[in-house]
Amino acid sequence: MSTLLETVTWLCLIVNSISIVMLLYRAIKGPSNPDRAVAIDTIGINLISMTGILAIYLNTSMFNDIILLIGILTFIATVAIAKFLERGVIIDRSRD
Amino acid sequence: MSIMLFFSILAPFIAACLVPFLFRYKRTIHTGWLVLPIPILLFLYFLLQIPNISGGNNIHLIINWIPSIGMNLSFYLDGLSLLFTLLITGIGTLVVLYSIYYLNKKEKLHNFYVFLMIFMGAMLGVVLSDNVFVLYLFWEFTSLSSFLLIGYWYHRERSRYGAFKSMIITVFGGLSMLGGLILLTIMTDTTSIREMIESKESVINSPYFTGTLLLILLGAFTKSAQFPFHIWLPDAMEAPTPVSAFLHSATMVKAGIYLSARLFLLFGGSDLFFILVTGFGLLTLCWGSYMAVRQTDLKAILAYSTISQLGMIMAMIGFGTEVAIFAAIFHIFNHATFKGSLFMIAGIVDHESGTRDIRKLGGLMTLMPISATLALFGTFSMAGVPLPFLNGFLSKEMFFKTATQISPTAPLVDQLFIIIPVLAVLGSIFTFVYSMYFFFQTFMGKSKETLEIKPHEAPIGMLVSPIVLVTFIVVIGLLPNLINEPILAPATAAVFGTVPEEHIAFWHGEINTPLLMSLAVVVLGTLLYLTRKKWSHVYRLLPGVLSANKAYDAVYEGHLRLSRKTTNMYMTGSLRHYVLYILLFLVASGGITLVVTDGFAFSTSDVAPISWPEIMVGIVMAIAAIATVFMQNRIAAILVLGVVGYGLSLLFVFFRAPDLALTQLIVETVTVALFLLCFYHLPKLDTKKQSTGTKTVNILISASVGILVTLVAIASHSSKRFETIAHYFIDESHHLGGGDNVVNVILVDMRGLDTMFEITVLGLAALGIYAMIRLRKEEEID
């Protein structure tokens, strides 16, 4: 692997990490729960990118599943949290 | 023929199994009649053994039971055992006969005779066992059956109290005795009593000698109601009178005496044995007779009298001279005769007049002449009145004689042995007083009108047993040598080791010290009896707070209170506290182990390089984890905790574990969703105000748990002892498992069993959740 590519992946990883730290600040600080939910969702996106960069860095295709999975899960999780915040329940009971 | 010995013990147990059927299907006959043949046959069998035993042919029988631990049914019939078997079966016969008339057919007779037969078999087992563990087995059987018999009228509160008390005390002693017997077994490397006596040297020279002796004597003293363990016996008087006559005068309370006598050859020579057995015997003698005078219940007088007489026998065993042993054995026999008859008379008085309270009784002489005559012989024999036709006098006189003749072998006793005859006389004076009190208050004086039933003479069937016993009193009083040669001599030989001379002929002759002591007892006793109203207030001073009953109740109550307090102290019902104990124990045991075994190791030789992104992720996780603790609402806490979970999955990616990362992501998401599901139903997180003390403790504990686990992890990483077996999996997974994903090959091929049970766990959890939700719903409908 060329030095340039390695340096770039490194830089990307570090930038991503800083991004996660900043998101963490938002997740902890709040001030409201929707703020936190968005922060968590964005952390998920950052995980996707970090996993992708790591796959390049480690020269493997084994992590591609993880990338897809994080995508789905963060979506589900965010929807669930959003629904909870809005209505208090995640799964509605049947209305009859 | 020796196998008969085994069946003689087994017979009462078999009878006990059959009694309920007899009771059920033969309702017209009193069950006692059907039980009666058993003790009679046994008595005859043991009578027939007399020529054998007095001829020196002891019977020995071993039946293998658990040979691997030396526990065999080993029975041995020698003189001492024979004396006891004759007492057990003989008085057993009389008691069964008496109980037929005493107990109404409406009583629960099947219970009574089952318990009585178990007791008889157990008691025969105690006196015939040569194996210490079998001895202990039967010993506890007697405790158990005594418990059942005392609590026979279980609807009465006092019966239950008495039964419980006797059980606690005798089982306490029995367990101590077991400890002593086990020590003996270890010291001598045998479980047979006779072989133990043969290897006496190894016991006496053992460092455990004192402890062994104390433990065994504790067993003997509790069973034989020696001071201060005598307190169960007066409360055991709640039992039906036949039981009191049989168990609590003639047989069971002599089991401790039997044990002391049986092990006399083992311990006899030691000073400690002399001091303890003599000391406690004399103390019991004096205290028992002193306490007997204040009782107002006929059976209570007899109970304290039994205690005092047992003390006397125990003291004689303690004296340890040949004459003393002989006298002890003679008195065992005599006491069984007169005390048995007195109990039966007390029962008759109770039965025919409706009360046992001596203050309500009086003037029964003319109404119950036969009982009164029998009581006269019994009480006078018990008092040791110097009349030539009373056996109690003979043994009492021998007691005085031995008390004056003790050779002071022990250095400590050299100064004290003068006090022994004084105590003996003192105890005997009170014995005289309560004996007279018992007789004159009940049968002489004016008859009182307060009785509910018009007193009348008992039916003849009830009188037969005491008549037989009183006949023994007189016959042995007149012709003591009748039982000397066949019974007493072999028994003394069995206890002491040598055959005694004819000591019993000493009862007449010149005026000697023992006779003078007896006369002094009579004179002083009469004086004290006549003036007893003047000094009865002494009783308010002396037992007072020193009463052993108060001590027992205080110990019992205090024990209950203490345990309740202790339990309430730590069983708070708060999960928080229990977790605290668990973690404290973890930290303490783990930490101490680390320090004591010097188990901590730290080496950096095998450490992988760390990259900046990894550090960053680690820091993020740490911050998120710490932040979770300080979150003010639940949603925020669970969201921030989610960051930790996602961070962990990223770490898995860093460490090249894609399967773990996948699973971790899914599990994390599902967990968050589940938490959110539950939260809807939970109240708002209440920020409970905790004291700074509690907070500090919690912080300290959580920090120490974290530190401990970290230290253990570092230590275990730093000390790798063996090569990893991972290479095998990597090399073989394609070849053996047919897959390239090593993790999955391990999960389903190499170690598929684990996976199967984890699937089971998940299945059970799902079922459990379903059940909890559904069942609760149905209950709510109700």
- Quick check: A37 contacting B, CB < 8 Å? yes
- 3-state class (DSSP) for residue B525: helix
Q: CB distance B669–A73 less than 8 Å?
A: yes
Closest C-alpha to B8, from B118, B150, B121: B121
- 3-state class (DSSP) for residue B66: strand
Task: Report d(CA B196, CA B491) in Å as an integer.
Answer: 19
Residues near B651 by beta carbon (within 8 Å), at least 6 away in sequence: B614, B617, B618, B621
On the 0-12 / 13-18 / 19+ scale of CB atoms within 10 A, B206 is middle
pLDDT at B566: 92
To the nearest whole number, what is the mean pLDDT of chain B?
A: 84
Residues near B485 by beta carbon (within 8 Å), at least 6 away in sequence: B54
pLDDT tens for A5-41 read 888 988 898 898 889 889 888 888 878 888 888 888 8
State the ipTM, two decimals: 0.83
| Rg of chain A (C-alpha set) | 17
> Is the peptide bond prior to B228 cis by the omega test (within 30 degrees of 0)?
yes
Task: Report d(CA B212, CA B204) in Å as an integer.
Answer: 10
Pairing of strands B71-77, B59-66: antiparallel
- Quick check: A22 contacting B, CB < 8 Å? no
Q: Is the dihedral of CA B72, B78, B83, B86 positive or negative?
A: positive
Residues near B696 by beta carbon (within 8 Å), at least 6 away in sequence: none
Token output for B771: 């059940």
For residue B545, name the pLDDT band (cuts at 50, 70, 90): low
More confident residue, B308 or B204: B308
- Residues B20/B46, Cβ–Cβ less than 8 Å: no
Q: CB distance A14–B673 less than 8 Å?
A: no
Distance from CA of A5 to the nearest CA of B (A): 16
pLDDT tens for B635-679 read 788 888 888 988 898 899 888 888 898 899 889 888 888 887 777
Task: Report d(CA B49, CA B59) in Å as an integer.
Answer: 9
Task: Report d(CA B357, CA B143) in Å as an integer.
Answer: 28
Q: CB distance B665–A58 less than 8 Å?
A: no
pLDDT at B52: 82
Closest C-alpha to B265, from B330, B182, B196: B196
- Quick check: A82 contacting B, CB < 8 Å? no
- Residues B445/B362, Cβ–Cβ less than 8 Å: yes
For residue B543, name the pLDDT band (cuts at 50, 70, 90): confident
Determine the residue among A12, A17, A53, A93 to mutate to test chain B binding: the one whose Cβ has the most chain B Cβ atoms within 10 Å. A17
Give the number of other Cβ atoms within 10 Å of residue B731's Cβ: 11
Which residue among A27, A69, A80 places its CB closest to the CB of B662?
A69
Provide the phi-psi class of B573: left if phi over 0, else alpha when psi is between -120 and 50, else beta: left
Q: pTM for the whole thing?
A: 0.80
Residues of A in contact with B612 (CB under 8 A): 10, 13-14, 17
Q: Is the dihedral of CA B17, B173, B282, B212 positive or negative?
A: positive
Distance from CA of B610 to the nearest CA of A (A): 13
> Is the peptide bond prior to A31 cis by the omega test (within 30 degrees of 0)?
yes
Helix (H) or strand (E) holding B99: helix B79-102
Token output for B221: 């003293």
- Residues B429/B285, Cβ–Cβ less than 8 Å: no
Task: Report d(CA B640, CA B619) in Å as an integer.
Answer: 14
For residue B19, name the pLDDT band (cuts at 50, 70, 90): confident
Token output for B231: 């307190």
pLDDT at B412: 57
Residue pointed to by tokens 């003679």: B330
Token output for B430: 């009170």
Inform me whether the pLDDT recorded for B212 exceeds 60: yes
For residue B560, name the pLDDT band (cuts at 50, 70, 90): very high
On the 0-12 / 13-18 / 19+ scale of CB atoms within 10 A, B704 is middle
Q: Which residues of B touch A (CB under 8 A)?
A: 612-613, 616-617, 619-620, 623-624, 627, 631, 633, 635-636, 639-640, 642-643, 646, 649-650, 653-654, 656, 658, 661-662, 665-666, 669, 672-673, 676-677, 679-680
Inform me whether the pLDDT recorded for B778 exceeds 70: no
